[in-house]
Amino acid sequence: MKKIIAIIAAMAVMMSFAACGDKKDTSVDTEDTAVSTAVDTAEGEETNNDDGVSVTDSVEITVDDVKNHAETPASDFEYVDHGDSVSIKAYNGSDPIVVIPEQIDGKDVISIIDGPFSNDSFIKGISLPDTIKELSYTFCNNACLQVVLATGVETVGEGTFNCDNLRIVDLGDKVTTFNESNFFLGSMERLHIPAGVTELNKYMFMDGTEKLTIVGEAGSYAESYASEIGARFEAE
C-alpha cells in the first residue's frame, strides 16, 4: 500500500512540474494596459545589497541577503495596470535578488502573472510585499531559486514551488490554505508554517527531510506535522 501511495505521489509531482510551463496565474485580467520598461538583462552581472555584499550567480543566497537588499526599482518590471492596482508580468532587471515594492505609481502590487519568476528564471532570492495575498505557479520549476520571503500571503495555490534548489521559505503568519500539489525537493532546509495552516500533504517532501527544519508555534499543527514527516521542529 505504501508503495502505491509513493507511486501516486511521484506521478503527482511529475504532473505538477509539467504544468509549470503551461499554467499561469489567471486570477487577474491581463487584457488591461501593460506598462513596459526597457532595462537590458545581463545574466551573471554582479550586484550589491544594502550592506555592500556582492551577489553573483555562484553565490549561495541567505535570508539576510534578501531581507537587507534594496527594493527593486519599478523600472525593472513590466506590469499590468488595473486602474487602482497593478500586477507584475515581467522582470527585466539583472539582479538575482528581487524585492518587489508594495506600490508602483502609487498603486498596490496585488499579484504576479505570466510566470516571470518560474521555469528558466535566474532569480535566486525574492521578497514579496504584503499586498500580494495569493500565489499560484509563481516559482514553479525555477532551478535557481533558493530563498522566498512572502509574509503577506494567505493562499498558496497549485504548483507555487517545486524548485530543485529551494532552501528557505518564510510565509509569515497569514497563510491558511496550502495546496497539496506543492512539492519540495531534498534541498529544503527551513520552512515556516503559520498557525493558520491545519493540513499539509505528508508526501510533500519527495526527497526526504534530512536537512529540513519546520518552524512554527509550539503545540501547533506545524509541530505535529514535523513529527509526522521526521523533520526537526523549531518553536518561533
Average pLDDT over residues 191-198: 94
Higher pLDDT, 13 or 92: 92
Report whether 211 contacts 187 (CB < 8 A): yes
The pLDDT assigned to 144 comes to 95
Across the beta sheet with 85-91, what order do the strands follow? 33-35, 77-81, 85-91, 107-112, 103-104
DSSP string of 135-179?
Answer: ESSSSTT-SS--EEE-TT--EE-TTS---TT--EEE-TTT--EE-
The pLDDT assigned to 174 comes to 94
Whether residue 37 has pLDDT greater than 60 = no
The whole-angstrom separation of Cα 164 and Cα 70 is 26
Higher pLDDT, 57 or 129: 129
Average pLDDT over residues 65-85: 98
Average pLDDT over residues 210-236: 97
pLDDT, averaged across the chain? 83
User: pLDDT band for position 58 (50/70/90)?
Assistant: low
pLDDT tens for each residue of 134-177? 999 999 999 999 999 999 999 999 999 889 999 999 999 999 99
The pLDDT assigned to 50 comes to 47
Whether residue 208 has pLDDT greater than 50 = yes
The whole-angstrom separation of Cα 94 and Cα 169 is 22
The pLDDT assigned to 207 comes to 87
Residue 172: strand, helix, or coil: coil
Helical H runs in the chain? 2-19, 63-67, 221-229
Spatial neighbors of 63 by CB under 8 A, at least 6 apart, are 147, 149, 168, 170
Cell of 1: 500500500
Whether residue 67 has pLDDT greater than 90 = yes
Whether residue 47 has pLDDT greater than 90 = no
Whether residue 80 has pLDDT greater than 50 = yes
User: pLDDT band for position 59 (50/70/90)?
Assistant: confident
pTM, rounded to two decimals: 0.79
The pLDDT assigned to 21 comes to 55
* Of 154, 155, 234, nearest in space to 191 by CA: 234
Average pLDDT over residues 44-71: 69
For 57-60, the CB contacts below 8 A with 24+ separation are 57/96, 57/122, 57/124, 59/124, 60/146
Residue 163: how many other CB atoms lie within 10 Å: 26
Higher pLDDT, 3 or 130: 130
